[in-house]
Structure 1
Amino acid sequence: MTREDVRYRNGGDNSVLKMILLEQWQYRCYMCGRPKDFTDTQIDHLIPQSFSAAELRVAKKQYNLTSSFDLHSPENLAPICSKCNRDKSNQTFEGAGVMLLALSKAAKLRSDVIAACKRFGSGTQLSKHLLRSIAADLAQTKTREAFETYAPAIVQKLALLGEGKADFVTYHEVILDEMHSDDFHDIFIPDVGLSLLARGRTAMSILQDVCGCQMGDLLQPRVHDLIELLQNRVRHDFESITEPTRINAGPAEIFRLQVTIETIDYQRYEPVLEFTFQGKFDAYLVASLVQDSLNGDGIQDRQGEVAVTGTFSFTADWSFSAQQGSLDIGECTIEEWSSQVDVT
């Protein structure tokens, strides 16, 4: 299987490609960000495959795509749930952060998707049987009964290969309150996702049952800090642009934000329990810009759009002598940062 072979096939069997895309996108719908099963997802063409040659040229220019951009390549494909796919139809959500974010992420994952599909293609017959299990529709009674009867043996066999190999991710949502600030546009954060393996779930239980901490109370101020960090970093990115002339940026407004906590670890240091949170963010921000004119005799108003992704972390300490729910929470720190800036 060559790199060119890994692409969407109209009317063909795309189950392997769909499985790999879902894995690379961490089993989430790229639009709503919620975990989804194989049977509740489809492969979405970010730039619709129905586009004419003229529409595709416009899209390539709008989203800074390469001339070799292939509509059916993994760089234009992502898993989407049934509901979001119906809502999206053949739209590209012009100017929306979801499209900038998705295209940027798909481009980064392209090589990994191709490599994983090639590995599967050179695998054994067992790979195909396991794919059938992943694709099984558990809404069917007999299929579900068979899965519940025999799947535990597969999980046990996997566990025997090594500690942690049979671990699994569970997903929870923590609802936060509306946030207000003079420095940024009022936004409502519908939830923060907790996507945790076994150790993370244990840490969350300790926080709730031993430390008496409510996750919403703990996460609310840290998400507020993260928002301010994002806005300051975006403003810096805009004002770092000096060609063709220098830019001054106003406060950036957030129009889309997804936050997921992926690990919660804990250590005991007498007489303190220290918890370390690590997560990721996807955001889309817009800012008003002022740029010096080329001839230097005035200024012109511009608008900046930026899609950002990255990771962040913070710590929380609980003393054994402290009251229930009383934690010393450290500052939020951005660990990784990637941005795609567009000035119009």
Structure 2
Amino acid sequence: MNPIDARYSNTSSDHNRLLLLALTEAWGSKCYWCRTPKLFRELQIDHIVPRRPREAATTVFDLDAVENLAPICGPCNQEKANEVYQHAPRVESQLKRARSRAETVQRNLDRFRRDTHITKVLLAITAADVADEAAAGAIKALGRVVLNVLRSRFPDLLDASYVEDYTTHHPPIEYEGRTYQRTDGVSVVELDGRSRRVAVVLEDVFGLSLRYALDTVREEVRGDIDGCADVITTTSTYA
């Protein structure tokens, strides 16, 4: 393994983006801390043992080496911050996982560097803000060309499953001087080719987003549970 390549860079953001791509693939496109599937643009490079921990610690290994790096989502990175020494067993477990993936990360990095032009274009697409109309338009135009290449050379990719996070995030509620935070409705869905076609029919034909459908089902289930709880309470009261 080449230690110069497979390490975090303090000077090159391009290198770190390639490294993040290599890490993301090696870790199965998941945040290593919560183990939830995430899109590439939702992930960052995390130092498992932080470089500047709030608590003094003596490290006997290279903190910037790939054995101490993993992809993490923004919320987990905030939560973890530099407090990981309070959870030493968990940190040691994650370090073992990182060490087991180190060679795969290096191989991925070498593969991506064989054609840096294509890799940089793909990185730009995956990190683009698709909510921006100009960016979305450019991706759509380029996508038509790329799809032709995929159909002729890599048709299996078009039917490959992918994971989408449909989690509903609830804002905090202020009531009588106190703040209440509802639990987020977590919905992580793996879609194969057939499922994606169903989602397209839902959205384009019926005008029903998959996120709305999941929220509706979740609210119905919650309502049934609350109703059962009311029945149990009433029965217990008058028993």
TM-score bracket, shorter-length normalisation: 0.5 to 0.7
Query: 1:17: how far off?
Result: 0.5
CA distance in 2, matches of 1:127, 1:74: 20
After superposition, the Cα gap between the structure-2 partners of 1:137 and 1:11, relative to the gap in structure 1 and judged at 3 Å, is: farther
TM-score, structure 2 as length reference = 0.62
TM-score, structure 1 as length reference = 0.45
Query: 1:193: how far off?
Result: 5.7
Query: What is the identity percentage for the equivalent residue pairs of Structure 1 and Structure 2?
Result: 31
Secondary structure in structure 1 of the residue aligned to 2:58: helix
Match for residue 117 of structure 2? 125
After superposition, the Cα gap between the structure-2 partners of 1:155 and 1:104, relative to the gap in structure 1 and judged at 3 Å, is: farther
Aligned AA for 1:33?
A: R
Q: Which of 24, 32, 35 is matched with 1:33 structurally? A: 35
Larger RCO of the pair (alpha carbons < 8 Å, separation 6+): 2
Matched-pair contact (CA < 8 Å) for 1:2–1:118: no
CA distance in 2, matches of 1:74, 1:128: 21
CA distance in 1, matches of 2:72, 2:165: 19
Query: 1:107: how far off?
Result: 0.8
CA distance in 2, matches of 1:92, 1:30: 14
Matched-pair contact (CA < 8 Å) for 1:8–1:72: yes
Secondary structure in structure 1 of the residue aligned to 2:50: coil
Matched-pair contact (CA < 8 Å) for 2:38–2:163: no
Query: 1:157: how far off?
Result: 1.5
Match for residue 9 of structure 2? 9
Q: Which of 55, 58, 73 is matched with 1:56 structurally? A: 58
Matched-pair contact (CA < 8 Å) for 2:49–2:84: yes
Higher strand share: 1
After superposition, the Cα gap between the structure-2 partners of 1:192 and 1:124, relative to the gap in structure 1 and judged at 3 Å, is: closer
Higher helix share: 2
Matched-pair contact (CA < 8 Å) for 2:3–2:65: no
1:80 aligns with 2:82: no
Matched-pair contact (CA < 8 Å) for 1:78–1:106: yes
What count of residue pairs does the alignment treat as equivalent? 179
RMSD between superposed Cα atoms in Å: 3.4
Match for residue 225 of structure 2? none
Structure 1 residues without counterparts, runs of 5 or longer: 58-66, 174-189, 203-344
Matched-pair contact (CA < 8 Å) for 1:22–1:28: yes
Matched-pair contact (CA < 8 Å) for 1:18–1:43: yes
TM superposition outliers: structure 1 runs of 4+ over 4 Å: 190-194
Match for residue 21 of structure 1? 23
Match for residue 174 of structure 2? none
Match for residue 180 of structure 2? none
After superposition, the Cα gap between the structure-2 partners of 1:153 and 1:122, relative to the gap in structure 1 and judged at 3 Å, is: closer
